[in-house]
Structure 1
Amino acid sequence: MKNLVLILALVLSSWQIQAQEKTISGIVTTADDALPLPGVNIFIKGNSKGTQTDFDGKYSLQANSGDILVFSYIGYITTEVEIGSVSTIDVVLETDSNSLDEVVVTGYAVTKKRAFTGAVSVVSVEYEQTSKSQLKNQARKRVHNKISNQLAGQVSGIKIKGTTKSNISNVLYIVDGIPVQKSYNTLIEQLDPDTIDSVNVYKSSEAINTFGNSAKDGCIVITTKKGNYRIQNDEDYANITENNFESTAMSPLSTFSIDVDKAGYSNVRRMINNGETIPPDAVKLEEMVNYFNYKYPQPTDQHPFSINTEVVETPWHKDTQLVRIGLQGKSYENDQLPASNLTFLIDVSGSMGSQNKLPLLKSAFKLLVNQLREKDNVSIVVYAGAAGVVLEPTSGNEKETILAALDHLNSGGSTAGGEGIKLAYKLAENNFKKNGNNRVILATDGDFNVGASSDKAMQTLIEEKRKSGVFLSVLGFGYGNYKDSKLETLADKGNGNHAYIDNMQEAQKVFGKEFGGTLFTIAKDVKIQVEFNPKKVQAYRLIGYENRLLADEDFIDDTKDAGELGSGHTVTALYEVIPVGIKSDYLNAIPDLKYTQSEVSSNYEDELFTVKFRYKKPNEDTSIEMVHIQNTELTDASEDMNFASAVALFGMQLRNSKYFNNASTSKVIELAESGRGADTDGYRAEFMRLVKSYDSLK
């Protein structure tokens, strides 16, 4: 009887403990500006269980009543909150004016080796207290926004236990808010002493409180005078020469390929969140505008997309007009999509070792795997110093097998990208599904350095491979050595699309909300040609698409490659036009022609432009043409027009364009606010946060 009572007591006790566990959620903001704070470390005191805030400052985790939550973030006072009866805990973090008081090293050239490798207690140099205003400015710049995401449990940290050279290779350095990848630690010695403002050395206990368990052996934080130093920055972007105004009388046709890529926006978002200087060539206006979906109607005829146009007064220039041309691809539910033959081509080279590369990649691909059906097949090819098959074609209902193959991937070695592509296409071709979705999904930072590796060599290779009928999706990961130009080339020439995944929210967008558009092509080689009416339009300028321009004669040449449109995808193009009769500083005088006389038709008084579209069905080689005529009527801007205008204007500001007419970022916010709409997923609100964050960096 006593045993029975004891067992019942234990069971009841267990039930009671389980009943106390609940979901705790909330938002973490800053006291100085009330903005949400991404990347805050949150863990249960005395327990390894924890989480981090997302880009909206939100968090959620399971905990028990009585547990103490610890909120820590660089430059802010660590805050502890005991869990009571409530399930929502919002936290405001205060700037920590003493966060750098452990050791501040100045006169770096004199004490370089001792500061880096010696014990903290023997560093003896002039102490300089960082002022509260400096700290507040650093906090506003958000240079530490992503540190927690990249450090959490992934970096071994500093070995501040001696002065041997071998310790340097294991040191965790943070330079201007960015953790230095382990493989780049030797480059610390190349820092110019004159550029360094301070070096802060954290011993084990302080490092754990500030950076989490990943810095259990200590941490060294270096701040440069300019505050934006990037030790391992070797990123490549294709050169962009901004489109100028074209005279309608001299050149009435504007021809370009559509672009559904969205990598440009998420890459810019990453740089703003990290407090980095944004290279102008990284700002691709069309990819920023097309990151967002717009409320275009579904097609109602036999064509795979609907055509939509709108003309308003340009928000940043009262003497010009803004034209929006929008396509809406037909949407299909997942169960309506044809069977897929997918080949994951995954870069597992040494450059993929950091947390925001291969580990993030694995988590992203799991979102895709969980949506596969029995009729879908998945193969996995990896490449480093060489390429190999790690998973033969496997049915989508064998998810555990596919996920296990992903979990076993590790990074190391050089990068034989060309060999990997050849092997992946061979596997895809051997398992080709007629009338199905045959696609290679390449995931990499683009740092190919073995075999075919130049942009031109990769372009030649992928142009040959696309003849097989296998499409290509390219996913970029990481930063520091991110090769945007190479990945964009692969996607463009491989009948595919290009996305940049900087966090799990973006992975969810690509593989969750836009699953069909990412994987299922409904129209290929989609080209747009606009003919402006010279009686109404004096000059025009295509905003963005600089790398997608086509010769006018390419429009009717079916051998010329163009962009692909996926299920549910939207495509938006913006033109700024100068009406006839308007004097503009943007226009230069055109000399009279001796042999050519320009005659303008007296008809078409009510037409502003005619836009033509050509596309091919995914399995065909002959184009179908569509025509749409836009009248001269100006309308009030729709919500979507306002928001697209805001994104385009912000992009022009980032590029330091000569055409944004000195409009302020407050104008961007004003337009975005009026165009925010329902914003169910919060992407437009995030854009406004990015603009405000960027404005605070200037």
Structure 2
Amino acid sequence: MRKHLNRLLLSLIAFSLLGIPIKGLAQSAAAGKTPVKLSVSVVDDRDNVPLPGVTILLKTKQAKTSSGTLTDQLGQAEVVLDSSIVELEVAYIGYQKQRIKTNKYKTSTPLRVRLKADNTALQEVVVTGLGIQRKAAMAPAAVANVNYRSYNVANYIPQSEPNTEDYSAVNENSFHTVSSNPLSTFSIDVDRASYANIRRFLNEGNMPPVDAVRVEEMINYFDYQYTNPTDDAPVAIYTDMAACPWNTTHQLVRIALKGKDVAKENLPPSNLVFLIDVSGSMGESRKLPLVKQAFKALVNQLRPVDKVAIVVYAGAAGLVLPSTPGSQKTAILDALDRLEAGGSTAGGAGIKLAYETAAEHLVKKGNNRVIIATDGDFNVGQSSDGELQRLIENEREKGIFLSVLGFGMGNYKDNKLEILADKGNGNYAYIDNYEEARRMFVTEFGGTLFTIAKDVKLQIEFNPKYVQSYRLVGYENRLLNDEDFNNDKKDAGDMGAGHTVTALYEIVPVGAAVAQPGTDPLKYQQNKAVAGNSNEVLTVKMRYKAPEGQQSKLVTKVLDWKQQDISQAPEDFRMAAAVADFGLLLRNSEHKGNATYEQVLKLAGNARGKDEEGYRAEFIQLVKKAQLISNNHGTN
């Protein structure tokens, strides 16, 4: 029935624009002396599914419309017939119209109407600031009186499709020998879409696809109580190490970053453009309706100095709300409420229009950002990854960033959305419920929207005196060449106000047995330990740029050798290790070692801490669900 609810708005607007009153049964009686109350039910001829929002017009002898009504969510309505009513006209978008003579309905016997689908009935419709209607029915003045650009939506009926979710391959990092590869370089990542998407699968009783599991996004989903920077740098570095829980002969190194907290009132003004996918694939309850909830949560956080425009796209793109101050929340919320889904998806055109809108209202030294909400199913128009990437990269250089919110299931295109966010210097999140939307736009308002450091890169140099080999846990899609670290033209990740980033390295200490393949000793290279009696295990170097800067700054941090069991490590370290452990199990990783669900539960159970928002408690429940599913399927 859900797909039929999407058409209800069309029927309501049709009544309004045609001047047809929607009246109750008491008002429908005209001059007849013996009116008959008639119950009408309307169903789909193919499967007998009730059709809500069906138009029922009461025709008089003069063939003029006297009144009308709509079927409810059960496909039912009541009309009152008298001697002036000669015909019922039953109409529904996408179905063949039926005309029923009323002279035989002299009693209250219920009328059941079976509508047949009409694949040719859906002509082009137009969505404007006033709503949605057929293009043929619109007078030219109807568009001229609206201050919004209109856009065309074709093929309004959403069609059921097979599961076509798409994920980029994740080829896990391998161990590297320090003597031949002493440097490890990568871009930081504050995205957390993978964790929320995994949660969706597990809550539905399914294990997630292996490539949907990005361990770094799982780790960085959680709040960590790292200390705010104390110097002029916007980001602080912290390091620690302990025995690796899934292989106790190895060590686990934690490298943590903390972005400076900024009070909401001190954040720069925002120039936001909501870019919303209203194509047919977004008609499901966990897509467009949840999009509206998410953006409403954000709108309620806006200040008078902030402004928002709304661009939508389906068959083509259009501006349905011009740039509007945050003080006019009612106007913004009303525009969101008017949106309905229908049509095929021309995402590239929508992104282009959104950037044009953002550029028209650019705020110097402000937060200029496009926030796209979609399932990623770009199937019409400018849709190639290359075209979209180049467009987004060019706008990024102008100071307009792109954040991406993913929704839904079945046709979800994670691979495309991840690329868009990476190229747009923005966050990528998957919204599977309202709580996730609230966290994104209420709890972490500053971190989500306000960049304090861009192009943040890390380079770790390992000391062969202590480290035989190492493996970066996750970040497979963020690896950089070593020479990219000092190249300020190389794009990297961005950090928002208050954001934290955690990276883990599994290291094989010197003297430990090596289970993984290695390389032959180099003939022409010298393998020298750091001079003297240094206890340094590694040096972390971080480069970052100011939000409007073009030249990077360097910050370094040294980690000294430290021997401790993971149970003695700080709470946040234990939690990060538990999440990484869980990710290895979900991937059935060749590097999972002795990892077990019991081990994850023990680690996480002892690392819950205050957990004010309940995310760590939820994690424990997800681990238990995965364990149950795994046992039922005989995996892991």
The answer to whether the 8 Å contact 1:117/1:163 transfers is: no
Match of residue 605 from structure 1: 534
Match of residue 90 from structure 2: none
Shift of 1:590: 2.4
| C-alpha spacing 1:377/1:167, structure 2 compared with 1 (3 Å) | closer
Relative to the length of structure 2, the TM-score reads 0.74
1:562 maps to 2:487: no
Deviations, residues 283-311 of structure 1 (Å, cap 9, x unaligned): 00000000001110011100002211110
Instruction: Give structure 2 stretches of 5+ with no counterpart.
Output: 1-45, 50-71, 77-111, 120-155, 631-636
The answer to whether the 8 Å contact 1:117/1:164 transfers is: no
| C-alpha spacing 1:320/1:165, structure 2 compared with 1 (3 Å) | farther
Match of residue 533 from structure 1: 463
Please list every run of at least 4 consecutive aligned residues from structure 1 whose deviation after the TM superposition is greater than 6 angstroms: 153-157, 161-165
Match of residue 299 from structure 1: 229
Query: Aligned AA for 1:628?
Result: K
The answer to whether the 8 Å contact 1:463/1:493 transfers is: yes
The answer to whether the 8 Å contact 2:457/2:492 transfers is: yes
SS at structure 2 position matched to 1:424: helix
Match of residue 649 from structure 1: 581
Match of residue 411 from structure 1: 341
Shift of 1:604: 5.3
Question: 2:175 is matched with which residue: 245, 251, 254?
Answer: 245
The answer to whether the 8 Å contact 2:464/2:527 transfers is: no
- Measured in 1, the distance between the counterparts of 2:212 and 2:296 equals 29
Shift of 1:182: 8.4
Question: 2:402 is matched with which residue: 472, 476, 484?
Answer: 472
1:452 maps to 2:382: yes
- Measured in 2, the distance between the counterparts of 1:344 and 1:451 equals 20
- Measured in 2, the distance between the counterparts of 1:303 and 1:502 equals 35
| C-alpha spacing 1:553/1:155, structure 2 compared with 1 (3 Å) | farther
Match of residue 284 from structure 2: 354
- Measured in 1, the distance between the counterparts of 2:73 and 2:369 equals 32
1:481 maps to 2:411: yes
Deviations, residues 475-503 of structure 1 (Å, cap 9, x unaligned): 11111111111111011011111011010
| C-alpha spacing 1:589/1:684, structure 2 compared with 1 (3 Å) | closer
Query: Aligned AA for 2:222?
Result: F
- Measured in 2, the distance between the counterparts of 1:117 and 1:164 equals 11
Question: 2:249 is matched with which residue: 311, 319, 323?
Answer: 319
Match of residue 212 from structure 2: 282
Match of residue 591 from structure 1: 520
State which drifts further: 281-290 or 634-643: 634-643
Match of residue 621 from structure 2: 689
Shift of 1:642: 1.0
- Measured in 1, the distance between the counterparts of 2:533 and 2:341 equals 62
The answer to whether the 8 Å contact 2:247/2:594 transfers is: no
SS at structure 2 position matched to 1:523: strand
Match of residue 676 from structure 1: 608
Question: 1:394 is matched with which residue: 324, 328, 331?
Answer: 324
Match of residue 201 from structure 1: none
Deviations, residues 485-531 of structure 1 (Å, cap 9, x unaligned): 11110110111110110100100110110110000000000000000
- Measured in 2, the distance between the counterparts of 1:367 and 1:690 equals 26
Shift of 1:465: 1.8
- Measured in 2, the distance between the counterparts of 1:543 and 1:404 equals 45
- Measured in 2, the distance between the counterparts of 1:389 and 1:182 equals 22
- Measured in 2, the distance between the counterparts of 1:322 and 1:155 equals 58
1:622 maps to 2:554: no
Shift of 1:236: 1.0
1:549 maps to 2:465: no
Match of residue 421 from structure 2: 491
Question: 1:430 is matched with which residue: 326, 340, 360?
Answer: 360
The answer to whether the 8 Å contact 2:207/2:629 transfers is: no
SS at structure 1 position matched to 2:286: coil
Aligned residues with identical type, % of pairs: 56
Match of residue 273 from structure 2: 343
- Measured in 2, the distance between the counterparts of 1:305 and 1:405 equals 38
Query: Aligned AA for 2:618?
Result: E
Query: Aligned AA for 1:602?
Result: A
Shift of 1:238: 1.0
- Measured in 1, the distance between the counterparts of 2:353 and 2:421 equals 17
| C-alpha spacing 1:328/1:689, structure 2 compared with 1 (3 Å) | same
The answer to whether the 8 Å contact 2:206/2:629 transfers is: no
Match of residue 78 from structure 1: none
Query: Aligned AA for 2:614?
Result: G
- Measured in 2, the distance between the counterparts of 1:597 and 1:532 equals 15
The answer to whether the 8 Å contact 1:455/1:485 transfers is: no
The answer to whether the 8 Å contact 2:220/2:501 transfers is: yes
The answer to whether the 8 Å contact 1:118/1:162 transfers is: no
The answer to whether the 8 Å contact 1:353/1:411 transfers is: yes
Deviations, residues 213-263 of structure 1 (Å, cap 9, x unaligned): xxxxxxxxxxxxxxxxxxx21111111100011000010000000000010
Instruction: Name the structure, 1 or 2, with higher relative contact order (CA <8 Å, separation 6+).
Output: 2
- Measured in 2, the distance between the counterparts of 1:632 and 1:469 equals 42
Match of residue 631 from structure 1: 560
Shift of 1:278: 1.3
Shift of 1:592: 3.3
- Measured in 2, the distance between the counterparts of 1:353 and 1:304 equals 42
Instruction: Give structure 1 stretches of 5+ with no counterpart.
Output: 1-115, 120-152, 169-180, 188-231
- Measured in 2, the distance between the counterparts of 1:283 and 1:117 equals 39
The answer to whether the 8 Å contact 2:585/2:592 transfers is: yes
- Measured in 2, the distance between the counterparts of 1:537 and 1:649 equals 22
Shift of 1:693: 1.0
Query: Aligned AA for 2:455?
Result: D
Larger Rg: 2
- Measured in 1, the distance between the counterparts of 2:494 and 2:518 equals 39
The answer to whether the 8 Å contact 1:313/1:320 transfers is: yes
- Measured in 2, the distance between the counterparts of 1:298 and 1:600 equals 34
SS at structure 2 position matched to 1:496: coil
SS at structure 1 position matched to 2:224: coil
Match of residue 194 from structure 1: none
- Measured in 2, the distance between the counterparts of 1:645 and 1:589 equals 25
Query: Aligned AA for 1:471?
Result: F
